[in-house]
Amino acid sequence: MTALYIEWVDAKTWGSAYYGSEEIKELKLPIMRSRGEVVIETNTELFITQTTGDGEYHNIIGIPKGSILKRKKIP
């Protein structure tokens, strides 16, 4: 398997509060950082896992490829 370091943009909601026109200019989506081994990769999605063993996987995360800002192989 290939191990990767990935930086990607995550979705976020700001709840049911009201925001003024100046406040909304300050809203930013969070940049997440993940490390893991690739378990599935399609044209649109990347699934990585943090823990593997005996053909089992744990802590799997799916990331839309359009959200990925940086992708680097980990030796």
Domain boundaries, the chain: 3-73
Which pLDDT score, from 0 to 100, does residue 30 have? 96
pLDDT tens digits, residue range 33-67?
Answer: 999 999 999 999 999 999 999 989 999 999 999 99
Average pLDDT value for the chain:
94
What is the spatial order of strands in the sheet that 3-9 belongs to?
Answer: 56-64, 45-53, 31-41, 3-9, 68-73
pTM assigned to the model: 0.83
Q: Which residues pair with 34 in a beta bridge?
A: 6
Given a cut of 90, whether residue 28 has pLDDT beyond it is yes
